[in-house]
Amino acid sequence: MAFKLDHSVVHVSDRARSDAFYRDVLGAELVEIAGIRMYRFGDAQLNVHGPGLDAKPVARIPVPPGGSDLCFEWEGPIEGAVEHLKRCGVAIDCGPQTGFGAKGLGKSVYFRDPDGSLLEFIAYTL
């Protein structure tokens, strides 16, 4: 049986700042259900832990703000991702460089969210 990743978790320290970043830089749809915020990316989702949410009933050791490492597929050449990050005022930590993702060989750029979580855009068009 094969499984598909449905959601993961990112922990933030400032919801408004992170909401703006994930919406404007990553194109997330902001969804709120029963007072719980989520970031949707098509059929995948990031649940958002942070101020006002106690993750301990489920998470034995909650991920700290800045403790995530997430990769998002960029459609098109990686140069488009570099330009997008520049337009958004987001510093690039590393790249573009060649690496491997879920679909094989690609080119990536690495950057950080406002809490310091490592984020990556990977493009499979070489």
Given 3.40.190.10, 3.50.50.60, 3.10.100.10, 3.10.180.10, which CATH number is that of 7-123? 3.10.180.10
Tokens of 104: 């094989």
| Amino acid 61: pLDDT | 76
| Amino acid 85: pLDDT | 97
| Amino acid 84: pLDDT | 96
Compute the half-sphere exposure of residue 23: CA atoms within 13 Å on the CB side of its CA: 11
Sign of CA dihedral 18, 24, 27, 31: positive
Q: Which tens digits make up the pLDDT trace of 12-33?
A: 999 999 999 999 999 999 998 8
| Amino acid 56: pLDDT | 65
| Amino acid 55: pLDDT | 66
| Separation between Cα atoms, residue 95 and residue 35, nearest integer Å | 37
User: Are residues 41 and 27 in contact, defined by beta-carbon separation less than 8 angstroms?
Assistant: yes
| Amino acid 18: pLDDT | 94
Of 99, 95, 115, 123, nearest to 22 (Cα)? 115
Burial class of residue 111, CB neighbours in 10 A (0-12, 13-18, 19+): buried
Tokens of 81: 């991702």
User: Are residues 104 and 64 in contact, defined by beta-carbon separation less than 8 angstroms?
Assistant: no
Mean of per-residue pLDDT scores for the chain = 89
Q: Within 10 Å of residue 94's Cβ, how many Cβ atoms?
A: 11
Query: What value does the mean pLDDT take over residues 83-88?
Result: 96
What global pTM score does this model have? 0.88
Query: What value does the mean pLDDT take over residues 35-44?
Result: 87
